[in-house]
Amino acid sequence: MKAGFIGTGSMGSILIEAFIHSGAFNPEQIIAGNRTISKVEHLAQTYPGLHVARSNREVATQSDLIFLCVKPSEFKTVIDEIKEDVLPSHMFVSITSPVLLKHLECLLPAKISKIIPSITNYVLSGATLCIHGNRMQPEDKEWLENILAHISSPIRVSENFTRISSDLSSCGPAFLAYVIQSFIDAAVEETGISKEEATLLASEMTLGTGKLLTTGGFDPVALQKRVAVPGGITAEGLRIMHNGLIGIFHQVIRATHAKYEEDLEKAELQFTLNQQPSQ
């Protein structure tokens, strides 16, 4: 079985490395292509046996499972390049949320799914959101999710909730890292603790908190109640945070959804929805 990757930017390369590190694929099972061929050549040097494709068509013709890891603005161009080489037996996986399943199913005869990975997959953790197309049979869905389980917890979501699900699982690490960095910076400025020590403490705290919220049996509300004794120091800190953060995440969600709607409109313009589905 050969896995192909069209696009080896930030997330494409993360997926390749995670699959190799987890044992889901050997380098010899992967063929990858990119507009900047040196990026793929660097991966091949790091993982001997990985095949460097010189064109998108080469990826399509030599792969069974193909990951489309390109920007929304590049999708139509890539599909036009490879559509003559695509067979019903191919399985295509898009990682680009604004490109809808209906767009891809109108242009390609393959089995199609969309996944939204996360940077946390690099350490074989976190979620991978799974949205499956109409041609994906139950056994196809299970097979793909078993592969994704090597690097994540696959979670099926509705395409209607792609954006908010992505906010939580894919954008969330950056949002959380911003909060942690702000906490670290304040600790350094207010107390004089070294940045290195504060970063170590905050990072270990984050790791432990994640375990409590997953395998430890806590949810966020229960965890706060367990730590914050009424009238204590933690409770006072939470009071300040509550007053300062009222509405902030509502604003974040509104902003990400507004940008997503813009991206959806741009993607829609690329695809002629009056085309007949491929046979």
Please report where in the chains the tokens 């507009």 appear, as a residue: 35
Q: Is 134 annotated as a binding residue?
A: no
Strand partners, 115: 130
Cα–Cα dist 197/70, whole Å: 39
The upper half-sphere exposure of residue 130, i.e. CA atoms within 13 Å in the direction of its Cβ, equals: 19
Kindly list the distances between the CA atom of residue 58 and the CA atoms of 20, 61, 77, 82, in Å, as whole numbers in the listed order. Answer: 21, 5, 15, 9
Contact between 32 and 2 under an 8 Å Cβ cutoff? The reply is no
Contact between 270 and 102 under an 8 Å Cβ cutoff? The reply is no
Q: Is 9 annotated as a binding residue?
A: yes
Phi, psi of 23 (to 5 degrees): 85, 5
Contact between 115 and 128 under an 8 Å Cβ cutoff? The reply is yes
Q: Is 56 annotated as a binding residue?
A: yes
Measured at the CA of 67, the angle between CA 66 and CA 72, to 5 degrees, comes to 130
Burial 201-229 (b: 16+ CB within 10 A, else e): ebeeeeeebeebeeeeebeeeeeeeeebe
Please report where in the chains the tokens 């991206």 appear, as a residue: 263
Annotated binding site: 6-11, 56
Annotated binding site for NADPH: 56
Annotated binding site for NADP(+): 6-11
